[in-house]
Amino acid sequence: MIRLADPVLGPEELQAVADVLASGQLVQGARVRDFEERVAAVVGTPHAIAVSSGTAALHLAILALGIGPGDEVIVPDFTWPGCANVVEVTGARTVLADIDPHTYNLAPATLAGLITPRTKAIMAVHLFGLPADLAPILELADQRGIPVIEDAACALGATSQGRPCGGLGRVGCFSFHPRKILTTGEGGMLTTHDEALAVRLRALRNHGLVAEGKYGRFNCAGLNLRLTEFQAAIGSVQMTRLPALVARRRELAALLLAQLAGCPGVQLPVEPPGVVTNWQAFVVTLADTCDRDAVREALRAGGVEATLGTHAISAQPAYAGREHCPNSLRAYRQSLALPLHPRMTEADVTTVAATLREVMGKLGR
């Protein structure tokens, strides 16, 4: 089976974990600081705050911006539901925005009609590692005085107009889940240029504790969302692999695009001018006449793992009755993620493309 994802881990990560065990310092130590510094350097921000997951990063961003009951946050409908969940658990309301059907990212033209006096943030997701069209989003947000949260969970190593994702809005949020560009098992990171916000984020991840007085002080009600030294040690090793991981993904994606060009019933992913995607995922959209789930099962029978692109939040029971987002709903119904990861060979890419062509020839009517 050609797997959908397969993290690149080696003896260096194993040694890093062994070194943590030998040190006796298992949480919030030098390895966390080193990992934070490495991510900050790549993203181009002075501050990076390591946390326990990408969802934890989004949650802390919402809390640190003071968002709560009565407030609204605009979130693209086609994304992992955690983006909406972190808003809802604070007592605020998620307002769902439709997507561009070609990039799968938030469509900037939808925003003006969704902003109200209660709008306290816009969450722009760089879905599948493709940078969102941030220029018009940031321009509108600046005009209205609304902060932009970048969900850059999939976008480490991706750039927009030469600038790294995660350093463009008020705060960026990354994930190090095994399906991401690099992994610490679970884990996340926040990045920001705002020093006051960074101070608040660091306190919120650690029970509200700040380094004041002999024993510290708890200046706000916080949570325990710290990253362990084990995870940070793995993350620092993974960061040394980042350029090669992104380069290999781009090579394989180019090959897959070439081999799937003109495949009937298959809309291929795009890379608009001015952006560099890291190809965290390779997601196609099938024609409306095609049964996506039947194609998925046929691919799996042929030894190619595949799954849906991601979820339409508005289609989930927890968000029934929210904004209608037709492009998102179609993507939820017809999108298909194909294998793409650095452990694949060129022969694997050829097998994926040939198998999809064969399946579409039978089922794509």
Q: Going from the N-terminus, what domains does the chain have, and what CATH number goes with each?
A: 11-237 (3.40.640.10), 242-363 (3.90.1150.10)
Compute the distance between CA of residue 141 and CA of residue 162 in angstroms, rounded to an integer. 21
Asked if the model's pLDDT at residue 322 lies above 70, the reply is yes
Asked if the model's pLDDT at residue 124 lies above 90, the reply is yes
pLDDT at 146: 98
Residues 6+ apart with CB under 8 A from 10: none
pLDDT at 224: 98
pLDDT at 42: 98
Round the average pLDDT of the chain to a whole number and report it: 97
Asked if the model's pLDDT at residue 365 lies above 70, the reply is no
Asked if the model's pLDDT at residue 364 lies above 90, the reply is no
Asked if the model's pLDDT at residue 54 lies above 70, the reply is yes
Q: What percent of the chain has pLDDT over 70?
A: 99
**What sign for the dihedral angle of Cα 342, 290, 109, 63?**
negative
Rounded mean pLDDT, 73-102: 98
Q: What percent of the chain has pLDDT over 90?
A: 98
pTM: 0.97
Beta partners for residue 276, in sequence order: 159
Asked if the model's pLDDT at residue 239 lies above 90, the reply is yes
CA angle, 337 then 339 then 341, to 5°: 125
Reported as type and span, the H/E element at residue 96 is strand 93-97
Q: Report pLDDT digits (tens) over 167-222.
A: 999 999 999 999 999 999 999 999 999 999 999 999 999 999 999 999 999 999 99
Pick 28 or 32 by higher pLDDT. 32
